[in-house]
């Protein structure tokens, strides 16, 4: 079954994620477990967490993705930032450990000007420490658009980041690919993504259009039908990878705007009802 959802806003109660998802007629979801600008974990009682997970199951909203805070940087030159980042990832992985079909997606980080190899070693070390206490099966890393010092931009970089951790998954953001300089319509993109799909690495697609030109090295998202990636490219990409969950992180001011984006993908793929 095709799985489509959006990054949902969360208010005081986690159940707001479920309300939003239902109202836009989506069947998978993503949200921030905590304020994305801090490393302070959200306080959720056991009772609330269990009730939330049960409600997700009842509503058949699956899989569920938690997006790690933006401040996570596993590759930082600053030891304190690395430690904090490890703690956040570890804490979230423990939180979701017993929740069915719930995953954590995180940006990889920045090497601080010391180069990819230096950042890679720090990433390996940090993930190695996390792995000692919790499984990496629910951890997904996301490609970056090529902003200054960003890690995990090219396919080669992503493969190297994944290499020692066979359980870890990957999320490809179409707007970030475009920012880096690759169109989602390129043959090499399709080939690589199909290979990741075959290897069960590809767990999630952030289906976003891009606000800036191809190769801009920027990661600003646009609505599916209102960005620099031609609509026919987005459409054929969505059709080809419809077996992978899609999460939209497109700009919005209202619930209706999300609902409209969901309708667009359904139209592209040819879904008339769930
Ligand atoms: Zn994304």
Query: What pLDDT score does 273 carry?
Result: 78
How far out from the chain centre does Cα 125 lie? 22
173: CA distance to ligand 1 center in Å? 5
Query: What pLDDT score does 40 carry?
Result: 87
- Average pLDDT over the chain, rounded to whole? 96
Integer CA distances (angstroms), 70 to 109, 110, 149, in order = 9, 11, 15
Q: What is the tens place of the pLDDT at every residue in 9-39? A: 998 899 999 999 999 999 999 999 988 998 8
Rounded to whole angstroms, the Cα distance separating 179 from 160 reads 20
Structure tokens at 2: 């095709």
Q: Which of 38-42, 111-115, 164-168 has the lowest mean pLDDT?
A: 38-42
Q: What is the tens place of the pLDDT at every residue in 130-167? A: 999 999 999 999 999 999 999 999 999 999 999 999 99
Rounded to whole angstroms, the Cα distance separating 195 from 202 reads 9
Rounded to whole angstroms, the Cα distance separating 267 from 273 reads 10
136: CA distance to ligand 1 center in Å? 20
pLDDT tops 80 at residue 274? no
Q: What interhelical angle do 15-23 and 255-269 show, nearest 10? A: 50
174: CA distance to ligand 1 center in Å? 8
Rounded to whole angstroms, the Cα distance separating 87 from 43 reads 15
- 169: helix, coil or strand? strand
Q: What is the tens place of the pLDDT at every residue in 220-250? A: 999 999 999 999 999 999 999 999 999 999 9
* 28-54 average pLDDT score: 93
Query: What pLDDT score does 11 carry?
Result: 87
- % of the chain with per-residue pLDDT over 70: 100
166: CA distance to ligand 1 center in Å? 22
- Angle (CA) 219 225 226, round 5°: 55
246: CA distance to ligand 1 center in Å? 11
47: CA distance to ligand 1 center in Å? 30
Query: What pLDDT score does 84 carry?
Result: 96
Query: Residue 96: what are its φ and ψ, rounded to 5°?
Result: -95, 0
Query: What pLDDT score does 51 carry?
Result: 96
Length of the chain: 274
pLDDT tops 80 at residue 60? yes
176: CA distance to ligand 1 center in Å? 7
Query: Residue 103: what are its φ and ψ, rounded to 5°?
Result: -125, 160
Query: What pLDDT score does 112 carry?
Result: 97
Domains and CATH numbers, the chain: 4-269 (3.20.20.150)
* 163-189 average pLDDT score: 98
Q: Whose CA is closest to 123, among 166, 75, 158, 171? A: 75
Structure tokens at 174: 């179409």
Integer CA distances (angstroms), 250 to 119, 194, 235, 246, 253, in order = 29, 24, 15, 12, 10
206: CA distance to ligand 1 center in Å? 5
- 95: helix, coil or strand? helix
Per DSSP, which regions of 149-220 are E strands?
169-173, 202-206, 209-210
């Amino acid at each position: 079954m095709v799985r489509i959802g959006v990054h949902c806003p969360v208010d005081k109660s986690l159940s707001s994620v479920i309300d939003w998802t239902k109202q836009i007629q989506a069947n998978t979801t993503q949200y921030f477990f905590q304020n994305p600008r801090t490393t302070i974990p959200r306080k959720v009682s056991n009772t609330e967490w269990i009730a939330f997970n049960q409600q997700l199951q009842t509503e058949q909203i699956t899989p569920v993705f938690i997006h790690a805070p933006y401040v996570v940087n596993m590759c930082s030159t600053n030891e304190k930032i690395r430690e904090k980042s490890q703690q956040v990832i570890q804490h979230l992985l423990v939180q979701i450990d017993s929740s069915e079909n719930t995953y954590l997606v995180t940006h990889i980080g920045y090497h601080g000007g010391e180069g990819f190899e230096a950042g890679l070693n720090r990433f390996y070390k940090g993930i190695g420490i996390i792995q000692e206490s919790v499984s990496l099966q629910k951890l997904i890393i996301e490609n970056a658009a090529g902003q200054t010092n960003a890690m995990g931009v090219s396919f080669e970089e992503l493969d190297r980041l994944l290499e020692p951790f066979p359980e870890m998954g990957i999320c490809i953001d179409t707007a970030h690919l475009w920012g880096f300089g690759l169109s989602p319509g390129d043959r090499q993109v399709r080939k690589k993504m199909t290979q990741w799909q075959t290897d069960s690495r590809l767990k999630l697609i952030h289906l976003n259009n891009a606000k800036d030109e191809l190769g801009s090295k920027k990661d600003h998202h646009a609505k599916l039908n209102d960005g620099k990636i031609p609509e026919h490219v987005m459409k054929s990409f969505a059709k080809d990878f419809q077996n992978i969950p899609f999460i939209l992180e497109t700009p919005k001011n209202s619930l209706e705007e999300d609902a409209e984006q969901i309708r667009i993908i359904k139209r592209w793929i040819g879904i008339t009802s769930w």
